[in-house]
Amino acid sequence: MSTATSLRRPPRVLISGGSIAGPAIAWWFTRYGFHTTLVERWPGLRPGGQNIDVSNQGREIARRMSLEQPILDANTGEKGTVFTDLQGRARISMPLEPGSVSPTNETEILRGSFAQLLYDATSKTTDWRFGDQIKQVDEHEDRVDIVFQSGKQETFDIVVLADGVGSRTRKLVFPPQDIEFKKLGVYIAYFMYPRDPNDPLANQWVVTNLPGKRALSFRPGGPGLTSAFLMWCSPESQGYEKLPQADQIAAIREHLLYPSVPNSTITQRALQGLSATTEVYLEYTGQIHAKHLHTPTGRIGMIGDAAYCGTALSGAGTTLSLVGAYILAGELARHRDDPRAGMKAYEAWMAPFAAQLQDLPPGVPQIVLPQTELGIRVLHGIGRLMLWLSKFRVVQWAAGKVFVPGEVDRIPLPDYREYEVVLDEKK
């Protein structure tokens, strides 16, 4: 039961996690006149991460936050996508052109750059606290009492968990049987290294399948850098994600020198990059499927990867984060007197949306990671055929039904403008 007294003053919200989802919801809460505190475990704004793209409804939300142009300005410079063979010869080319079909979009940005934009947009209005985290949560019908790692104790009206796929605070709040980690059976090992200016494909996203259910990817990774990843199938986690960086690099090298992988231009390029790497990140990919996006009292909710991680394979992590932030803040503004009703409305809107974006095409990722060179040639053949067919309107329509994640791109966003109290200085 929410008490009327708690509603005269601005609701106090605590947000855990300062990457994408966390600052995005802080921005919207501020807009609706809520008071926001954001706690980030790292000692400062966390740099790093590779390319993400802000698409569809996510881009619409960025536009409403006046961040669309800054995102375009921070573009990684990627000019298209090329699938190559092991010698680096183009097999399928998908340039970034108006009306073309390409995995490359003009909104390609590095995760770290986007996090910085969101920080800049909230640093004056949100109480950012670095180097601390929630240690203990005591939830009541009318408030949440928090003990921080630093020893500080405070009370909030609402707590939002936005601390990523491995969220520890989620474990403090939700029963383990309500959270499913659905493994996808692939490792992705990301590494950044200085870009070779003489590389003719330096401005392209180069994707190369390797025999043995593996794939390599190289993309422009911001000024002077290439961001690469190696992906390989593994039915179970092998614990690499817990190893120190030097051991992770050794593991990636081992998987590049795997017996089924021929010594080739592309593997040489990856090995060279790996030996000059400036940043490595290795994950055993899995999605988060949560039974509920909030607690029964409606005082604690989750957004972003903590709540519905789709993994890099869905390509939708950023969009889900921005949409979740927008909907949760909007519904809590609409139901200012009744957070439980606000959380319920958020879950009712968000859960089916997230389920659609998390839903990968049948057989992905294994189906796009063939075992043999013949399998790879077949995959490229199918890809070229699809690309050729996509030039025809009727096929576009039919292919849209199979390859584009459903009608989800066209679901309209609710309008919460009537709850805004902070006016856009530009309007």
Ligand X SMILES: *[C@@H]1O[C@H](CO)[C@@H](O)[C@H](O)[C@H]1NC(C)=O
Residue ranges binding ligand FAD (CB under 6 A): 16-22, 39-42, 46, 48-50, 52, 111, 133, 162-164, 167-169, 190, 281, 304-306, 312, 317-318, 321
DSSP result, 140-199: -SS-EEEEETTS-EEEESEEEE---TT-HHHHHHS-GGGEEEEEEEEEEEEEEEE--TT-
Residue closer to ligand FAD, measured from CB, 25 or 82: 25
Q: How far is the CB of 127 from ligand X (least distance, A)?
A: 33
Considering Cα of 95, then 100, then 103, then 104, what sign does the dihedral take? Answer: positive
Of ligand X, ligand FAD, none, which one sits near residue 49, judging by CB under 5 to 8 A according to partner kind?
ligand FAD
Q: How far is the CB of 55 from ligand X (least distance, A)?
A: 4
User: Which of positions 52-81 make contact with ligand X (CB under 6 A)?
Assistant: 55-56, 59
Residue closer to ligand FAD, measured from CB, 94 or 146: 146
Position of minimal CB gap to ligand FAD: 304
- Alpha-carbon span 155 to 299, nearest angstrom: 12
Of ligand FAD, ligand X, none, which one sits near residue 59, judging by CB under 5 to 8 A according to partner kind?
ligand X
The verdict on 106 binding ligand X (CB under 6 A) reads: yes
For residue 220, is the peptide bond before it cis, meaning its omega torsion is within 30 degrees of 0?
no
Q: Print the SS3 string covering 341-400.
A: HHHHHHHHHHHHHHHHHHCCCCCCCHHHCCCCHHHHHHHHHHHHHHHHHCCCHHHHHHHH
User: Rounded to the nearest 5°, which phi and psi values hold at 2?
Assistant: -85, 140
How far is residue 276 from each of residues 98, 240, 271, 295, 337, measured CA to CA in Å?
36, 20, 9, 46, 55
Of ligand X, ligand FAD, none, which one sits near residue 56, judging by CB under 5 to 8 A according to partner kind?
ligand X
Q: How far is the CB of 250 from ligand X (least distance, A)?
A: 15
How far is residue 117 from each of residues 46, 168, 236, measured CA to CA in Å?
12, 26, 37
Of ligand FAD, ligand X, none, which one sits near residue 190, judging by CB under 5 to 8 A according to partner kind?
ligand FAD
Of ligand X, ligand FAD, none, which one sits near residue 96, judging by CB under 5 to 8 A according to partner kind?
ligand X
3-class DSSP state for residue 51?
strand
- Alpha-carbon span 384 to 174, nearest angstrom: 46
Of ligand FAD, ligand X, none, which one sits near residue 105, judging by CB under 5 to 8 A according to partner kind?
ligand X
In one-letter notation, the amino acid at residue 352 is: P
For residue 227 the two structure tokens come to 């961001």
Q: How far is the CB of 169 from ligand FAD (least distance, A)?
A: 5
Q: How far is the CB of 315 from ligand X (least distance, A)?
A: 11
Of ligand X, ligand FAD, none, which one sits near residue 181, judging by CB under 5 to 8 A according to partner kind?
none
Q: List the one residue from 21, 96, 188, 312 that touches ligand X (CB under 6 A).
A: 96
- Alpha-carbon span 191 to 209, nearest angstrom: 17
Residue closer to ligand X, measured from CB, 84 or 285: 84
Residue closer to ligand FAD, measured from CB, 46 or 380: 46
Measured CA angle at 242 (ends 269, 317), to 5 deg: 70
For residue 112 the two structure tokens come to 């770290």
Residue closer to ligand X, measured from CB, 9 or 393: 393
Residues that bind ligand X (CB under 6 A): 55-56, 59, 96, 98, 102, 105-106, 263
